[in-house]
A = this chain, B = another copy of it.
Amino acid sequence: MAPNIVWHDHKVTRAERADLKNQDPCLLWFTGFSGSGKSTVANALDVALHREGYHTFLLDGDNVRHGLNRDLGFSDEDRVENIRRIGEVSKLFADAGMIVLSAFISPFASDRRLVRNMLPSGEFIEVFMDTPLEVCEERDPKGLYQRARKGEIKHFTGIDSPYERPAHPEIILDTSTLSVDDCVENLIAYLRERNMIKPRR
């Protein structure tokens, strides 16, 4: 090869990364009380989309709290930083062309707005899991409500810390009236209607 050949500094664009995956990048941001079905529905959607050949990734407490955000506690400051980092990582995944699913209580509107504003318009899809608090507490899958009621856990959302309801979520789901499969169907319909997931090539 001639030594005077110049390398052209091309970079793979965001659109090229997404095009390879036959989808538009987006972030489905599941927010709601503990026990509202965020993780369950996000996982079920993840499985359904993957089965159809779409490229997804799920961020939740399991893979974030013990890794990237292991240095953060539960102070107000740390909770804001927790959501900020999750937003930044979600943005990187969207830049990689992925459909990102994130499942965190994220009780504060300002934090959710921060993440919404990180992404191009239309890519942040706020999924409000509007399952009534009584139902979530009745389910209490991790026994956390019981502990919060006893005062063993402080600043627990819905008990002694507020949850700010989304004012204009893109999607509202209530798992006390909808099955998990119904929720997944609603979400896939939303993505299909906007042509964010394309028919197979």
Contacts and interface: CB of A to CB of B under 8 A. Distances in A.
A68 B92 CA distance: 9
A95 B11 contact: no
Report, nearest first, the 9 A-B pairs whose CB atoms are least far apart. A68-B88, A57-B96, A7-B180, A67-B88, A12-B50, A12-B46, A10-B47, A1-B179, A11-B43
Interface of A: 1, 3, 5, 7, 9-12, 16-17, 20-21, 40, 43-44, 46-47, 50, 53, 55-59, 63, 67-68, 71, 81, 85, 88-89, 91-93, 95-98, 118, 179-182
Given A55-B20, A57-B17, A44 B7 contact: yes
A46 B9 CA distance: 11
* Tally of this chain's copies: 2
A128 to B, nearest CB: 20
Contacts of A16: 50
Given A3-B179, A21-B55, A55-B96, 18 more contacts: A7-B44, A7-B179, A9-B40, A9-B43, A11-B46, A11-B47, A12-B43, A12-B56, A17-B50, A17-B57, A57-B92, A57-B95, A63-B92, A63-B95, A68-B85, A68-B89, A92-B93, A96-B98
